[in-house]
Amino acid sequence: MNKKPLILVTNDDGITSGGIKTLINIAKEFGEVVVVAPDSPQSAKGHAITIYDPLRLKEVDIYDGIKAYACSGTPVDCVKLAKHHVLKGRKVDLCVSGINHGSNASINIIYSGTMSAAMEASLEGIDAIGFSLLDYSSKADFSQGAPFIRQIISDHLNGGKGTGTLINVNIPKLTTQEIKGIKVCRQAKGQWQENYQLAKDPSGREYFWLAGDFINEDNEQDTDLWALENGYISVVPSTYDLTKYDEIDWFKSLEKIKV
Amino acid sequence: MNKKPLILVTNDDGITSGGIKTLINIAKEFGEVVVVAPDSPQSAKGHAITIYDPLRLKEVDIYDGIKAYACSGTPVDCVKLAKHHVLKGRKVDLCVSGINHGSNASINIIYSGTMSAAMEASLEGIDAIGFSLLDYSSKADFSQGAPFIRQIISDHLNGGKGTGTLINVNIPKLTTQEIKGIKVCRQAKGQWQENYQLAKDPSGREYFWLAGDFINEDNEQDTDLWALENGYISVVPSTYDLTKYDEIDWFKSLEKIKV
């Protein structure tokens, strides 16, 4: 790549989060970085976009020498505004999203704003990587996985397909030395075992608050959850094509319906 | 099936929309219907869930003889609240979502609250069907596709896998007689060509509003968009496993990274 690459950075934890700061610092080693990220936490917003309300975009001077914009919308809104307004007409070489506070392995990719932002870039034909660290703590140390993140970004910029590939990278809560390496795997089958905390507000009206624990239901060794539990960074190539191809034949009987 | 089936009905257009009324009326021919749906329009909310705010749930008496609850959250919140609170401990035989105002074919499944609600049920092991009508009009005639919807629901209750299958059903804007039948297909590759309307509010502050047109980029005849353009109802078996299996080998080179 001769020209300095253009890298779009976004996330779902918000533009002032520790994870995005680490990611910006890595990305700027490789090219021109532009940040468009939510002005407030947008975790678990999935692929939501804002259609009933106007969006606001504010240029912020918080990362030295980096163009950065805080957006009032969801992570996917950020990517759309980056493409259609902030970077209008420019070719983006890579979109990186994160580093998320907490796991986006297994089915968490579906709920994740971090991964949905990356998927939106992928839909637009931009290679995209979502990074997440398995540490929900506000004091999470994002630097430990940084050497791996640096290499993954370097690999993409030098040899990426450039066709809108999407990978979901999750990093275990270990030191750089403890991380055993990278495993490329499939999304594990897992599920949230949830309940709602039921309480009453000061006016006596009931409200519900979601709580739960994630359960791994997949015993195979080729999954992201296995990799993470065994000290590896997991990389899952991912897609926005939700067709379940192996069920098309099974459902063909519906074509016989006559009314 | 000997016992009267339990059918959960939800949507994203809100509990008072015309589409859900049609779906409730069809579903109640087959069993006990419980409705948990958003109290306000929640289109394009994707797989968003509410984690920063409490949720409200209100029993409403708007559909004769049907237990119905309006929820302050997203479509996915509705399904979670149905499972963990309203129907706690009961086995749901089928979840139907819709009938949505407007297409959820092609990549629109990703943005769709209607389909995300169905996917959430699927994640929980409940067979789920999302229905959408290609008519955004508030006066859309949901009755034309009803005979097909009735048959699809009947098929699922009588011969469904019961393993959390998920299908995305889109109905063309045609009369019952004009609809040629059903095609089981894959999700077409398409894209939104979008722009943002930029304007100023009364205080002189800029705001952005998303606008765009959907473009079919897929010329094959085995897609949902082809089926719909040719007078058929499209059925796409869908999944929450986003792994792009055919790229796992390509990305294996990342496993060589050493830091």
CB B240 within 8 A of CB B119: yes
Q: Do B147 and A116 touch (CB under 8 A)?
A: no
CB B227 within 8 A of CB B183: yes
Q: Do B123 and A43 touch (CB under 8 A)?
A: no
The two beta strands, A6-10 and A32-38, are parallel
Residue A1 reports pLDDT greater than 70: no
Contact list in B for residue A49 (CB cut-off 8 A) is: 44, 46, 111, 210
Between helix B146-159 and helix B18-27 the angle, nearest 10°, is 50
Instruction: Return the pLDDT at B2.
Output: 57
The Cα of A105 is separated from the nearest Cα of chain B by a number of Å equal to 11
CB-neighbour burial class of residue A217 (10 A; exposed 0-12, middle 13-18, buried 19+) = exposed
Residue B184 is classified by DSSP as E
Mutation site, B119, B241, B250, B252, interface A, largest A CB count within 10 A? B241
Q: Do A257 and B198 touch (CB under 8 A)?
A: no
The Cα of A72 is separated from the nearest Cα of chain B by a number of Å equal to 10
pLDDT band at A35; cut points 50, 70, 90: very high
Instruction: Return the pLDDT at B151.
Output: 97
* CA A208 from centroid of its chain's CA atoms: 27
CA distance B111 to B54: 23
Count Cα neighbours of B83 within 13 Å in the Cβ-side half-sphere: 24
Contacts of B170 (CB under 8 A, 6+ apart): B103, B104, B105, B132, B133, B134, B224, B228, B233, B234
- Share of residues in chain A with pLDDT > 90 (%): 95
Among B54, B147, B165, select the one facing A209 at the smallest CB separation: B54
pLDDT one digit per residue (tens) for chain B, 259 residues: 458 999 999 999 999 999 999 999 999 999 999 999 999 999 999 999 999 999 999 999 999 999 999 999 999 999 999 999 999 989 999 999 999 999 999 999 999 999 999 999 999 999 999 999 999 988 899 999 999 999 999 999 998 888 999 999 999 999 999 999 999 999 999 999 999 999 999 999 999 999 999 999 999 999 999 999 999 999 999 999 999 999 999 999 999 999 9
Q: Where are the domains of chain B?
A: 6-187+221-255
Instruction: Return the pLDDT at B193.
Output: 92
pLDDT per residue over A153-193, tens digit each? 999 999 888 899 999 999 999 999 999 999 999 999 999 99
Mutation site, B26, B213, B254, interface A, largest A CB count within 10 A? B254
Which H, E and C letters describe B58-75, residue by residue? EEECCCCCCEEEEECCCH
CB-neighbour burial class of residue B200 (10 A; exposed 0-12, middle 13-18, buried 19+) = exposed
CA distance A149 to A133: 11
For the segment A150-154, the average pLDDT, to the nearest whole number, is 98
Domain B6-187+221-255 classification at class level = alpha beta
pLDDT per residue over A38-83, tens digit each? 999 999 999 999 999 999 999 999 999 999 999 999 999 999 999 9
Instruction: Return the pLDDT at B108.
Output: 97
For the segment A92-111, the average pLDDT, to the nearest whole number, is 97
CA distance B210 to A73: 11
Judged by DSSP in three states, B55 sits in strand
pLDDT band at A138; cut points 50, 70, 90: confident
CA distance B20 to B66: 13
So what's the architecture of A6-187+233-242 in CATH?
A: 3-Layer(aba) Sandwich (3.40)
* Residue given tokens 């949505």 in the structure block: B100
pLDDT per residue over A231-242, tens digit each? 999 999 999 999
CB A106 within 8 A of CB A214: yes
Q: Which H or E element spans position B206? A: strand B206-216
pLDDT band at A2; cut points 50, 70, 90: low
CB-neighbour burial class of residue B45 (10 A; exposed 0-12, middle 13-18, buried 19+) = buried
CA distance A192 to A198: 18
